[in-house]
Copies of this chain bind each other. A is one copy, B any other.
């Protein structure tokens, strides 16, 4: 009945699970979570329905697994991006760029994040990850403030503001309303950085 969390999968099993996750990710992102049925997923892969329930307890659990995978992937990408940055400000800028690029590349994940944020059944799964990322960014902002690189302010609030810009612009790119050219990305990053910079006596 319940799928044990520690089930040992053979290679065949791993591959099948991957297929399910990948195909479901694409369908959920394209057609929406609720409108996509389990029947549609297994039929799309040409397998029996029991296969689905061999690997997952429910459709909900599958989405949670997808979201978790995506969050870990994003986080790893961010960590790698800021690893060899010198100053706090540089870490912030690289973090912003890496997040935007990842979100553009992983369109399906991004859409699922957007959906999950609107559904009480899944939004809690996002919060932890978002909180970690925001706290992280806020730490860099606080350092930059201490170093006098940017204006003083609430680091978490500003992190969220940046996240808002990032999210919305990626949305535009996915909708085809914005070409993700270096110039456009620079403009977005610049908006954020000058927003952080705040009032200055000299620039």
Contacts and interface: CB of A to CB of B under 8 A. Distances in A.
Interface of A: 30-32, 34-35, 111, 114-115, 117-120, 151, 153-154, 157-158, 160-161, 163-169, 171-172, 178, 184, 187-188, 190-192, 194-203
A118 B164 contact: no
Given A157-B188, A187-B154, A190-B198, A118 B32 contact: yes
Contacts of A188: 157, 161
Contacts of A34: 32, 34-35
A199 B165 CA distance: 19
B167 A168 contact: yes
A37 B154 CA distance: 42
15 contacts: A32-B118, A111-B118, A114-B118, A154-B187, A157-B188, A158-B187, A160-B168, A161-B168, A161-B188, A163-B168, A164-B169, A168-B168, A194-B195, A195-B195, A201-B202
A199 B157 CA distance: 22
A195 B202 contact: no
A191 B187 contact: no
Per CB-CB distance, the 7 closest pairs between chain A and chain B, nearest first, are A164-B168, A195-B195, A34-B34, A191-B195, A164-B164, A115-B118, A164-B165
A160 B172 contact: yes
A137 to B, nearest CB: 13
A147 B92 CA distance: 32
Contacts of A192: 195
A158 to B, nearest CB: 6
